[in-house]
Structure 1
């Protein structure tokens, strides 16, 4: 059963990816103009050519750093505000409209306002934080509210300290949903960071190179940079899901 599930988990995504590439190839051949839609092979050639370009590794490293740092700051802030919301019902009710406004505010509005208020090298951090913070806050608060009330009553009956309650009961129950939501948000932070870099024309960034290739209508190179950004998102999401699996196995004694 496990072998069948593993085979399915590998084969199904590969089939989906193959179908996407075939459709892309057919569409490119039908259009017949590489400047509009280059073929997958052209894009792959440009993708590998990027590794030899001056500034490639610096741009990738700095974009990755911006995305990860913005995520970490937002995650810590979300955990702090969720903790305060759990401690105080008044704080939770007072902060609720602010969280909703941040969550439903159009992303493009956030980007344009931040570009007015901050310099280009700071804008990607602020934009990514403002967009993903309310998402992470919702994830953490929902996870905290989802802890079994009967379990909490038991901890009170045994008069366990706050530390023991958190590490022995809250944390094991909250880890799976929090890390699942965080992994999706982390990959989304790469997407946001690159978008912010494009509009801010941030130095030493994937977004800046995308903007330049777009200006020169180098479509195949633009798609190659897009592949780089996608791979970064996949990498970060995969790493966090791996961390989730290891932590859940540690606390629950079984595989997630």
Structure 2
């Protein structure tokens, strides 16, 4: 973490502390010390680790399925213009539909336990697909001309040209998609009232006006997002080198 980031975090904590003192009501704004105690309490409970694990499993289930489908369709759309044209209306629909609509409809269809990763997949798919197809469409025109002069089989072209071309986009898109997927999954867990997950703890914290626990779980979500970002930043930096 850079020095500037540390300074920003310290300033935010100071502002938070001052606001908590001015308000004087821990239901509205708990102090950082109260939130720290709640965080320690969460990590001292073994069931909390299982809740985090279940949420992450749902995130990665939705992410990997959306990644596979987005890769497959974007490669086909790049090769066959008919596929691209057929898929354009679906692409527009997926971009236009609000995330909360996915959540509510999928919860009605599949119930709370089976719907979270499906919701994650539906939300992440257009993000990944749009980035993949944009990269393929903006390939160097000279390379495209060479491919027309010296055509290769679809499988060989995909292996030697398409996959290496999409690798950088895969890293940057996955970084964004997993961060978004974590937030979407937690939101779906709250609305669906799942039996196990971070969303369940946030739901009960709101229900019992336990704001310090609400803040503590939010901080845990932020930490998970930072870890995911850091991993992909390392991979992106390694690729550039």
TM-score by length of 1: 0.87
The secondary structure found in structure 2 opposite 1:68 is: helix
> Is residue 70 of structure 1 aligned with residue 62 of structure 2?
yes
Q: Which residue of 1 aligns with 2:115?
A: 123
Q: Which residue of 1 aligns with 2:85?
A: 93
Moved over 3 A (4+): 155-173
Q: Which residue of 2 aligns with 1:199?
A: 191
CA deviation vs aligned residue, 1:144-168 (integer Å, no higher than 9, x gap): 1122121232344455555554444
Q: Which residue of 1 aligns with 2:3?
A: 11
Residue 237 of structure 1 deviates from its aligned partner by 2.5
Q: Is the 8 A contact 2:128 2:174 kept in 1?
A: yes
> Is residue 208 of structure 1 aligned with residue 200 of structure 2?
yes
> Is residue 109 of structure 1 aligned with residue 101 of structure 2?
yes
> Please, which runs of 5 or more residues in structure 1 have no aligned partner?
1-8, 250-254
> Is residue 49 of structure 1 aligned with residue 41 of structure 2?
yes
TM-score by length of 2: 0.92
Q: Which residue of 2 aligns with 1:4?
A: none
Q: Which residue of 2 aligns with 1:23?
A: 15
> Please, which runs of 5 or more residues in structure 2 have no aligned partner?
none
Give the number of aligned pairs: 241
| Alpha-carbon distance in 2 for matches of 1:212, 1:32 | 23
Structure 1 stretch 154-163 or stretch 49-58: which is displaced more? 154-163
| Alpha-carbon distance in 2 for matches of 1:16, 1:25 | 14
Residue 119 of structure 1 deviates from its aligned partner by 1.6
Q: Which residue of 1 aligns with 2:214?
A: 222
Instruction: Give the one of 68, 71, 86 matched to 1:79.
Output: 71
| Alpha-carbon distance in 1 for matches of 2:194, 2:203 | 10
Q: Which residue of 2 aligns with 1:245?
A: 237
CA RMSD of aligned residues (A): 1.8
| Alpha-carbon distance in 2 for matches of 1:21, 1:172 | 43
